[in-house]
Amino acid sequence: MTKPSAPVLVALPAPAPAPAPGRSTGTQTCTPTSTEPPLGSPWPASARPGSGGEVLVGGVGLAESAERFGTPLYVLDEEEVRARARAYRRALPQAEVLYAAKAFLCSAMADWVAEEGLGLDVCSSGELWLAAAAGFPAQRILLHGNAKTPEELRLARRLRVGRIVIDGPAEIARLAALVAADTPQRVLVRVVPGIAAGHHEAVRTGVGGQKFGFPIEGGDAADAIARTLAQPGLELVGLHCHLGSQITEVEPYLAAVDALVRLLAEVRERHGAELPELDLGGGHGIRYLPEDGELDLPDFASRVSGRLSERCAEAGLAVPRLLVEPGRAVAGPAAVAVYRVLSVKHTADGRCYAAVDGGMSDNPRPALYGSPYTARLVGRRSDAPPAPMDVVGRHCEAGDVLVRDARLPADLRAGDLLAVPAAGAYQLSMASGYNLVGRPAVAAVRDGRARLLIRRETVEDFRTREVGR
C-alpha cells in the first residue's frame, strides 16, 4: 500500500522530556523482550514486567519510549492489532469483517487491517480521505453516518466505495441523484430494532427515539426499504443495524438477528426480493479493568451464525452473508497511554491526587461516560504500599479525572511515569484541542522495535490554522 511521506517534527514545549536534538525518531531497536510472564488483560498480550519497574510492550520498554518520544505518549502494539484482526477472520470465516475506523485510524492502522483481510467502516470524509490516501481498496470500504453531507456522498461515489449505509430519508433521494442507473451504488438501509444494549445511554443506538436509522416499529424501516428499492440507481443489498457500544453479552445480537430476519421475510413477501447481506454492526466490549467482562468472540460467532441459519430456515430464506464492524475490540487493548506525573497533592479530607501531563483532551471517556481505567507505575520499582489515588488531568475542569481510586505506590512523586492500558479506542479519535495542549504522539512497537506513527501536535500547529486577527 502507498505510504505517506514522513512529517517534519516540531518540538512542543512541555514538562515531559522531548526527543534529544538530532536523535533519530525512526525505527530503532529497543529493550530486549522480557522472559517474565505476561501482565494479562487489560494489557496487550505482549506486555511483561522488565527490570527496574519497567513494563515491556512489543519488546519495547514503556519508560524508554517515553524518554525517547516524550509524554503523553500512546504506544500501539502492532502485533496485538494484527492478532485481533486475525481472530475475527478465524471466528467468522464466512462473514465480512470491517474495522470501525472511528475507534482509531491512521495510515499504519489502515495498512494493518487491510493486510489482515478486513474491510473498513468509515463515517466521515476525513476518514474516507485518509483511507484512500493510504491506498485502502475502495471496494472494501463502507460509508455510514447519520448526517452525510452532499460532498461526502459525492466523494464516496467518486472513489467508488463498496457500500453506503442509508441512515435517513433525505439520503435516499440525495444519493440517487448522484448515481446513474448503469453504475448503481450498493447500499444498506440502517434499521433500529428496538434493542437496548451498551454500557451508557449515550451509546445505545439500537433503540427508538434517537437520531440513527429507521425504526422497525411504526413502519419507518419498511417505508425506507420500499423507497430505496424504487430507485434504479440504488442496489439494496441488505439491512444494517448497530446496537451500541461496549456490549459484553451475546444475547442482544441474537435478539437483533430475530428482528432483522423477520424484516427480511417481510421484504421478500412485499417486494419479491431476498436481500443477500445482514450487517450487525459492532460494539463488542473489552476489558478496561481486570475484573471486567468482555465479549467472547468464539461464542458470539457460533451463536450468532447458528441463530441466523436457524431463523432463515424457519422463514424459508437463503442465509444472507453476515457483516460485523469491530473497532474497539481490535484497537482498544492494543495501546497503552503513558503520562508523566507533574504533582502529587494530599487534601485535608484524605484524598490524594496525582496530576499528569495529559487528561480529558486525549481521553474524554471518563468525563463523558464515567469510564473506568487502571494505572500502573512504570520505569521505577517501588516497595511502598499501595494507596488509593485519583489520577487527574491538567485541564481546567473538576471532571478531568482519568482514573479514580487507582492503587498506586504511596511514594508516587513528580517525574514518575504512569501507564494506562486499554487506551487504543475512542481516546485519540475523540481527542480535542482544549487549553491548546496538543494531541499526543503515537508510536508503534513490534518485535523489540519502536517507530513514530503520529507526531505530537504543537503550538505551531494551532497557530498556522489562524488566517486573520
Least-confidence region, from 188-197, 396-405, 455-464: 188-197
The radius of gyration of the chain's CA atoms, rounded to the nearest angstrom, is: 23
125-154: b or e for each residue (b if 16 or more CB lie within 10 Å)?
A: bebbebbbebebebebbbbbbeebeeebbe
What is the pLDDT at residue 465?
Answer: 94
Q: Say how far apart CA 469 and CA 466 lie, in whole Å.
A: 8
Continuous H helices in 235-292: 251-271
Which pLDDT band, with edges at 50, 70 and 90, does 194 fall under?
A: confident
DSSP string, 203-231: G--SSSSSSSSEESTTSHHHHHHHHHHT-
What is the pLDDT at residue 12?
Answer: 32
What is the pLDDT at residue 202?
Answer: 44
Predicted TM-score (pTM) of this structure: 0.90
Outline which parts of the chain fall under CATH 3.20.20.10.
79-332
CA angle at 102 for the pair 63 and 160, rounded to the nearest 5°: 130
What is the pLDDT at residue 181?
Answer: 75
Report the largest interatomic distance among the alpha carbons of the chain, rounded to a whole angstrom: 74
Task: Clarify whether 396 is annotated catalytic.
Answer: yes
- The helix/strand/coil state of 119 is strand
Count how many residues are written for the chain. 469
Residue 58 near residue 76, CB atoms below 8 Å:
no
Q: Dihedral (C-alpha) 56, 85, 131, 236: value to the nearest 10 degrees?
A: -160
Residue 163 near residue 193, CB atoms below 8 Å:
no
Q: Over 70: is that where the pLDDT of 4 sits?
A: no
What is the pLDDT at residue 247?
Answer: 94
In CATH, what number does 79-332 get? 3.20.20.10
219: left (phi over 0), alpha (psi -120 to 50) or beta: left
Give me the catalytic one of 30, 123, 312, 396. 396
Q: Say how far apart CA 35 and CA 49 lie, in whole Å.
A: 9
DSSP string, 303-347: HHHHHHHHHHHHHT-PPPEEEE--SHHHHGGGEEEEEEEEEEEE-
What is the pLDDT at residue 195?
Answer: 84
Cell (9 digits) for 168:
435517513
Cell (9 digits) for 307:
441463530
Q: Say how far apart CA 179 and CA 161 lie, in whole Å.
A: 13
Q: Which residues pair with 340 in a beta bridge?
A: 417
Distances (CA, A) of 411 to 7, 60, 218, 389, 401: 39, 26, 61, 11, 20
Q: Say how far apart CA 160 and CA 47 lie, in whole Å.
A: 40
Q: Considering only CA atoms, which of 123, 103, 177, 172 is closest in space to residue 424? A: 103
- The helix/strand/coil state of 462 is helix
In CATH, what number does 28-75+335-464 get? 2.40.37.10
Q: Considering only CA atoms, which of 334, 383, 336, 427 is closest in space to residue 61? A: 336
145: left (phi over 0), alpha (psi -120 to 50) or beta: left
**Mean pLDDT, the chain, integer:** 91
Q: Over 70: is that where the pLDDT of 14 sits?
A: no
pLDDT in tens, 376-420: 999 999 999 999 999 999 999 999 999 999 999 999 999 999 999
Q: Over 50: is that where the pLDDT of 133 sits?
A: yes
Q: Say how far apart CA 359 and CA 403 lie, in whole Å.
A: 10
Outline which parts of the chain fall under CATH 2.40.37.10.
28-75+335-464
- The helix/strand/coil state of 111 is helix
Which pLDDT band, with edges at 50, 70 and 90, does 196 fall under?
A: low
pLDDT in tens, 303-336: 999 999 999 999 999 999 999 999 999 999 999 9
In single-letter form, the type of residue at position 63 comes to A
Cell (9 digits) for 149:
453531507
